[in-house]
Amino acid sequence: MTDRLRVLVAGWLNSPHVVAWADAVLAAGHQVELAGRVVPNWPEVDLPGPSHPLSTIWPPPFQGLRLSRGLAALARAFRPDIVHAHYLAEYGWMAAREGLAPLVCSAWGSDVLVESWLSRHRSRRALDGAALVFADSADLATQARELADREVRVEVVRWGLDLDRYSPGDPTVARQILGLPPEGPLVVGVRGLSPIYNPELQLEAFALARGRHPEARLLLKHPQTSIPSSVDTAIDQLGLREVVTVVGSVPAERLPDFYRAADVVLSLPSSDSSPRSVWEALACGRPVVVSDLPWARQELEPGEQALLAPLDATAVADSIGQVLDNPALANRLGARGRAHALEKLDRHACSARIDTLYREVVGR
């Protein structure tokens, strides 16, 4: 075994999460090449290594078979020491189906937690073919072990975060950069606008919160290139057109200003596992309101590092109001959230852990 491993990272080539993992592997000192498909309606990203787009010209269900064979051909050409497949139900399934080994898989959340027969079947195939599985929360790790047909090693591993880039800053300066009014409370949502992220609930909760804070504004930052018509309609129905700003994809270096500009950051999915955006907000020292899910109960101390709220518009509005009405609470959440991110997401420590686990797999 050479000191520098050859790692084939399989995943969506325009996913910032795949890029973050590839960056962490590079930081551990290994050679990385990426393979996968480009997802429509997602923005382009800067990839940290050579990339190999897989053909998607075939219609479903044949597309998955075509992608699978393309991934196997790339693996034969690259001859990696490790194949690291992201999202069990797609790339993990492909790699296991083709017998690629040694195989490390990363579970992302919906590939394990969301009820879909086909997704769970493919995820189980990936788990059964993996030498090691990464999960970003204890809850996801437990669920992955329960889904597998055999005893599989699952480790809680995070990607690390640039804690200098994602750091506290002047909210007024951030708002100026973003072209937002300097005064008044600002609530920011940074998740997608698909149904699993409950954008209409966020809008309803914000409308209720404005009853106590009529000067408040809402900024919805989402990763897609267009806004769903249902969200646009909800903005009008709630009479929020003049106080809601919707922003699509932006370069990664601009993201910290969206957090710094916020008085409250919302993350309200129906299903989730340790989302990167929540950690980014914590690292920027901003108060966060997150949906009350198992990962959050295990990872965040309510009232100290974040506020946890049920998926109910009134409850979310109350949580927003708690932060806006109580500067001491807001300051405590921001300071302790930042300290928590520093403890958990040091990039060097995360890359070193990935390196150790990779070498264990190759050594076996």
CATH of the domain at 229: 3.40.50.2000
Cβ atoms within 10 Å of 111's Cβ, excluding its own: 28
Q: Which residue has the higher pLDDT, 56 or 153?
A: 153
pLDDT bucket at 200, cuts 50 / 70 / 90 = very high
Tokens 């997401």 sit at which residue?
A: 345
**Interval 223-246 mean pLDDT:** 92
Tokens of 103: 């195989």
Cα–Cα distance list, 314 to 169, 209, 309, 348 (Å): 30, 8, 10, 41
Amino acid (one-letter) located at 156: V
Cβ-count burial of 241 within 10 angstroms (0-12 exposed, 13-18 middle, 19+ buried)?
exposed
> E strand or H helix at 291, and its extent?
strand 288-291
Statement to judge: residues 320 and 199 lie in one domain = yes
**Interval 200-214 mean pLDDT:** 97
165 within some domain: no
25 within some domain: yes
Quick one: pLDDT at residue 300?
96
67 within some domain: yes
**How many whole angstroms from its chain centre is CA 67?**
24
Quick one: pLDDT at residue 172?
96
Report the distance separating Cα 38 and Cα 274, nearest Å: 24
pLDDT bucket at 1, cuts 50 / 70 / 90 = very low
Tokens of 175: 């708002």
pLDDT bucket at 66, cuts 50 / 70 / 90 = confident
**Interval 216-233 mean pLDDT:** 90
Cβ atoms within 10 Å of 177's Cβ, excluding its own: 15
Tokens of 246: 């919707």
Q: Which residue has the higher pLDDT, 3 or 358?
A: 358
In DSSP notation, 78-135 reads H--SEEEEEIIIIIIHHHHHTT-SSEEEE--SHHHHS--HHHHHHHHHHHHH-SEEEE
pLDDT bucket at 46, cuts 50 / 70 / 90 = confident
Decide if 85 contacts 105 (C-beta within 8 A): yes
Statement to judge: residues 198 and 316 lie in one domain = yes
Percent of the chain with pLDDT over 70: 98
Statement to judge: residues 54 and 201 lie in one domain = no
Amino acid (one-letter) located at 305: Q
Q: Which of 63, 288, 78 is nearest to 166 (CA)?
A: 288
Quick one: pLDDT at residue 61?
63
Statement to judge: residues 208 and 307 lie in one domain = yes
Tokens 């409850």 sit at which residue?
A: 315
Tokens of 106: 């990363």
Statement to judge: residues 303 and 194 lie in one domain = yes
Statement to judge: residues 176 and 322 lie in one domain = yes
Tokens of 107: 């579970």
Statement to judge: residues 154 and 176 lie in one domain = no
**Interval 199-211 mean pLDDT:** 97
1 within some domain: no
Statement to judge: residues 92 and 30 lie in one domain = yes
Domain count, the chain: 2
Domain ranges, residue 77: 6-160+346-363
Statement to judge: residues 336 and 354 lie in one domain = no
Decide if 64 contacts 92 (C-beta within 8 A): no
221 within some domain: yes
Statement to judge: residues 88 and 144 lie in one domain = yes
217 within some domain: yes
Statement to judge: residues 140 and 177 lie in one domain = no
What 8-state DSSP symbol labels residue 161?
B
The yes-or-no verdict on residue 60 having pLDDT over 50 is yes
**Interval 156-179 mean pLDDT:** 95
Cα angle: 209, vertex 210, 216; to 5 degrees: 110
